[in-house]
Chains A and B, each alone.
Chain A
Amino acid sequence: MATNDDLGVDDTKPTVRAGVRLVRTLLRPHIPPFATSVIGSAVFAAGTVASATALGWITDRVVIDSFEGDIAGASAVTAAALIIAIAIVRSLGVVTRRYFAGMTAERVERSTRQALAQQYLSQPMSWLRRASTGRLVAHVDSDAKVLTHSLHPLPFSFGVLFLAIFSGVRLVIIDPWIALIALFLFPAMTVINSLYSRFVEKPLAESQAEVATVAGIAHESFEGALIVKTLGRRQAEVERFDAAADNLRARRQQVGFIRSWMDIFRHSLPQVGILVVLLVGANRISSGSMSPGDIVEIAALFGALAIPMLVFGFLLESLIPSVVAWNRLRPVIEAPIPEVPKQIGRPEGPLEVVVDGVSFAWASAPDDIVLDDIALTIAPGEMVAIVGSTGSGKSTLCAAIAGVLDDVDDHVIVGGRALQDFHPADRAEAIAYVFQEAFLFAESIRSNIDLDGDSSHESVVMAAKVAAADEWISSLAQSYDTPIGERGVTVSGGQRQRIALARALVRDAGLVILDDATSAVDTVVEQQILSHLRSSTNATMVIVANRLATIALADRVVHLVDGRIGATGSHDELLENDDYRELVMAYAEAGDG
């Protein structure tokens, strides 16, 4: 795992304290819904204390009085109305709290996803290559979600504070001795919660990391589903996944055990409080300083504490994964986006290409030099074939000229402008780059060809014709509006390549780069495509070629050997070179033999 993932992870220790800091940062742009939610929580707390007080009052003035012979029919009706009125106010508080807490969390999630989308689309390839796709996808789903988990219980937890204040005031009014018990009860809850968060921090952080591992394995394994099938490796993959799932299970079980202790205290502490109140209260009643109704009120108050305790525990627990998620998200969300040069329009006509001493190695293997000081000038309108053995750097050179390697953008000059000075829109218009592996979007064929949506139907069809795709596309029931599955999997390799080719041709660029872009197309069709292409544009062309007929079409051949230019010249000139002849003539020899 994580072989080339070096975007890094923040090393903020996942503690409750860090969680509180994080929550503060997250909430800052979303104060209005959050504040509304907290107000709802305060209303709820007030309602809870009020209903306990009402219950105490009812016990003394309605129940006991009535049993002492005082017919209190009218006050019973008043009491019933009071109970319902308080419940309505309390419910309004609850609805307000919950709805706006949910809204706050949803908004934080949305802004997190927007920030991620911004990064994923604006960062250069060199940045994207540093992270695994699995990680970046996990940010969008589980991390964004886990980040906001702590926001749901937060307003309710504020409610505990209100509850403590309101009931504290009530208790002091009823009886200072009883208030002392409460004074013990609230800190006891705080101690239990802080003990809990200390014990649970580490296993929680570990289980969070294990979730990421599980997701990573699923991602890789499903992407390679075809290979898993053909190799009959399903069982092995299941075992690999099972091992990670079992690790996750063990961690989660550990957390669950710690939580079950917390639950015991959460549950029993208020009840123990009620029993102590009963004991102390009996003495206070005999001394005449308290009424039975007071005991009922206090018992009801303590009883109401159980749920906020549950929510508080939930908050503490969710803070830890939130910090872990943020540690993973932060280097991504806060990565500086490089400034983009001004848009000044593309250079017109066939473009000259100057590769001025380009060297390159992938960040994942810095010792493995892929391009070694390549210097090359391609005249406007020239067609250059890049030839070389597997791994000689042909694709990388194409990527460098196309400007998707971005580390070397200062050393590649297209149409008199260094690639680093191109606005992305200008560059995309000037350079059409067709990849070795055709990537199609899960959209219609038309929008795959006309990515900007501003080309006419005629020019889309024209491009498809040159790419020898029109005939096939027209034969489909929905023609150009036929949707394509993810990665265009319902379309065969050759058809995918032709659509990708049409995409490049529709923009009428001054430089066309074909990186073995017709490898899955039959020879006959390929030749048809290339000759069409030559006659339909005077653009400069760079083409990675493996077939003799293709090489023969080129004005000049560049022979790459281990990332260096071994030789350059016309095909016939290069045939003097032994290495080149051996490579290129391999076919003819194979054909003869």
Chain B
Amino acid sequence: MADLETPVPGVEVDTADAATHDGAIQVLRRGLQTTPELLQGLLATALIGVAVAIGQISIPIVIQLALDRGGLTSGEVDTGVVLRLVLMAFGVLVATEALALIAKRRMIVRAEASLRRLRVLAFDHVHRQTLSVHNEQATGVMISRVTSDVDSLSRFTDWGLFVWVVEPIVVLCIFVAMAVYSWQLALLALVSFLPVFVAMRWVRTRMALAHDERRTAIGNLLGAFNESLTGAEVVRAYNAQHRTQKRLDTVSEVRYQKGLKANLYMSGVYVIGDLVGAVMLAAVLLVGVTQREALDLSSGSLVAIMFLITLLLTPIAELGETINTAQEAVAGWRKVLDLLDQPIEDLDPETGVALSAGALSIAANHVAFDYGDGVPVLRDVSVELPAGRRIAIVGETGSGKSTFARLLCRLADPTSGSIMIDGVELTDVAGDARHRAIRMVPQDGFLFDATIRENISFGRADATQADIDQAIDLLSLEAWVAGLPDGLDTPVGERGSSLSVGERQLVSFARAAVADPGILILDEATSSVDPQTDLQLTRALDRLAEGRTIVSIAHRLSTAESADIVLVFSDGELIEQGGHDELVLAGGRYAELFAAWTADIDHTA
């Protein structure tokens, strides 16, 4: 069993101990700050909770009055008095339940609205996080933040929230009613009630920890299953079923064990209230009967107090019954709030600077970068790139060329140094302006599960049909589009799976073209396209390059050869820059690369 605890690399591992976790109260405070509308719902509910309590208490009061004044104890029953009492109690009951109905509906509306907002806030936050965070965290874990974690909170608002707001008030009112009959006995009941708090506190910390461990196990479970599905082809081609099965069995088993552990605490919690209630009842009975004269009690009053104590058991039991969902809710809520607390480094400035239309210049000043792990990916890169030029970035795999490109479109910010676009610090540029003016075509031509037309139009919020046609025309994709079963309205499938990798790239090219950017960054985007298609795109890009700054990262040097400026990266440093001919003559690293490439062409031609 010991090896079940071994952390699985790449997926979320809960290393924090219980002491560092926020308690339920802090989670509640932070949660209410995040979605204040929930608080409004709670306050109204609490006020009407008092009314509900009065409705409940009316029953033992009526019993007491019936016993003492209706003559039930003495045997000389006055049915008229009893009937009046019962009708009065019924009236109170109807009124308070009607109030409860109104309060509940109000609370439901507020709670549901805040759940929706919390979900959307978390979703938005995931998209606002820096790329390095996306790299570290498994997609499955992030999905569970906006789904199952919020769902665990919603299960609580369904069944527990009203209970948790109203029942403590009911408990309070019951104690007040007891005190009216006999403050001494009420005090006695209260003292014997105290162990509940002590015991609850003890269990709660352990339970919260157990729930947290369970949620972490769920995150790991999702990560492992997600991997086995996204890598299904590899698993099959390499017959890796057994090892994957072992991994899935392990995460399932961990999840089961953690679930059982949380379940153990949950089972014990309910009982505390019940046992303490019995002790309370026994104590009150013992003292009430033996000290009745000193306390000046009627038999009806003592019965009413005992009945009030049994009434106390119901709210305590309901609290116990819903404590499971409450704990899950707190754990889920905490995870969502923790997500919302994670820094978003690339927060766009409130009033960002706009960028002018047309080609834009780029300048990097002593740019350094690492993905938060201290391993430098870029070191002291400084370069000035005039507007309207074609720039090619070459370098070996891992040289930092892709990271440099990512910094240019602000997928991350430099660890130190700065990037200027058209003389403006990139961090000061308004988000909208940046997205419009700087466009990247990444290696992975991810498409949304929509039609080709929709995917292209995603390139620009206000793209019209004419814009899309123009982009298609510019890239000479008419023939390709005509060959598709439904033309532009062909659905691409999940992640674009109905298209080949090359076709996906064609769509992402068109998606970039439709934005009409001033800087176009092509990150190895031509790597999976056949030479003919590539040539077609190269020509189209020539036309697209008109009036733009083009930054291309390609492993083929044909791009570099036709570029105005070539940047050569090696091991995170910019080691050479200049025109193609200039660099070939210089006889450095670029000259070496070029010689190898020319040999390739000569070899076959």
Contacts and interface: CB of A to CB of B under 8 A. Distances in A.
Contacts of A521: 397, 555
A244 B109 CA distance: 17
A404 B233 contact: yes
A114 interface: yes
A522 B500 contact: no
B222 interface: yes
Contacts of B105: 256-257, 260
Interface residues of A, number: 199
A3 B604 contact: no
A27 interface: no
A72 interface: yes
A462 interface: no
A2 to B, nearest CB: 8
A365 B498 contact: yes
Given A55-B310, A546-B530, A441 B283 contact: no
Nearest to B237: A433
Contacts of A292: 67, 72-73, 303
A279 B86 contact: yes
B352 interface: no
Interface string A507-520: 10000000010011
A439 B601 contact: no
Given A484-B10, A548-B600, A267 B108 contact: no
A252 B111 CA distance: 10
Interface in B440-461: 440, 442-444, 446-449, 458-459, 461
B44 interface: no
B232 A120 contact: yes
A427 interface: yes
22 contacts: A62-B289, A63-B289, A76-B285, A83-B281, A102-B259, A106-B259, A128-B229, A245-B123, A275-B62, A282-B66, A306-B314, A364-B491, A365-B490, A428-B238, A436-B528, A439-B233, A443-B10, A490-B136, A522-B397, A523-B600, A586-B535, A587-B534
B593 interface: yes
A375 interface: no
Residue among B79, B241, B480 with max Cβ neighbours from chain A (10 Å): B241
Interface string A325-363: 000000000000000000000000000000000000010
Contacts of B178: none
A192 interface: no
A157 to B, nearest CB: 13
A28 interface: no
B131 interface: yes
A435 B93 contact: no
Interface in A125-161: 125, 128-129, 132-134, 136-137, 140-142, 145, 152
A283 B66 CA distance: 12
Interface in A221-253: 221-234, 236-238, 241-242, 245-246, 248-249, 252-253
B234 A439 contact: yes
Interface in A437-482: 437, 439, 441-444, 451-453, 472
Given A259-B158, A274-B59, A395-B500, A4 B493 contact: yes
Interface in A83-104: 83-84, 86-88, 90-91, 94-95, 98-99, 102-103
Contacts of B288: 63
Given A311-B321, A314-B159, A362-B498, A218 B79 contact: no
A247 to B, nearest CB: 9
A154 to B, nearest CB: 14
A391 B76 CA distance: 98
A255 B235 CA distance: 43
Contacts of A587: 531, 534-535, 556, 558, 601
Contacts of A219: 139, 143
B604 A285 contact: no
A591 interface: yes
B541 to A, nearest CB: 12
A245 B116 contact: yes
A495 B530 contact: no
B286 interface: yes
B397 A525 contact: yes
Interface string B134-150: 11111110111011100
Contact of B458 (A84, A236, A367, A435): A236
Contacts of B434: 232
Contacts of B77: 282-283, 285-286
Contacts of B278: 51, 83-84, 86-88
Interface in B246-273: 248-249, 252-253, 255-256, 259-260, 263-264, 266-268, 270-271
A527 B285 CA distance: 93
A589 B277 CA distance: 91
Contacts of B531: 546, 583-584, 586-587, 590
B104 interface: yes
A231 to B, nearest CB: 6
A23 interface: no
Given A140-B222, A427-B239, A519-B527, A102 B260 contact: yes
Given A245-B120, A364-B498, A389-B533, A121 B244 contact: yes
A183 to B, nearest CB: 20
A592 to B, nearest CB: 9
B510 interface: no
Given A1-B449, A524-B593, A285 B299 contact: no
B112 A83 contact: no
Interface in B539-572: 555-558, 561
A362 B493 CA distance: 11
Contacts of B298: 67
A272 B93 contact: yes
A520 to B, nearest CB: 6
Contacts of A86: 278
Contacts of B240: 428, 451-452
A13 interface: no
B603 A278 contact: no
Interface string B397-415: 1100010000001010000
Contacts of A267: 97, 100
Contacts of A63: 285, 288-289, 299, 302-303, 306
Interface string B216-241: 00100111011111111111111111
Given A245-B116, A442-B8, A522-B396, A222 B142 contact: yes
B127 interface: yes
Given A303-B314, A520-B524, A133 B229 contact: yes
Contact of B252 (A113, A314, A425): A113
A417 interface: no
Nearest to A86: B278
A390 B529 contact: yes
Interface in A1-18: 1, 3-4
Contact of A516 (B104, B159, B255, B528): B528
Contacts of B112: 249, 252-253, 256
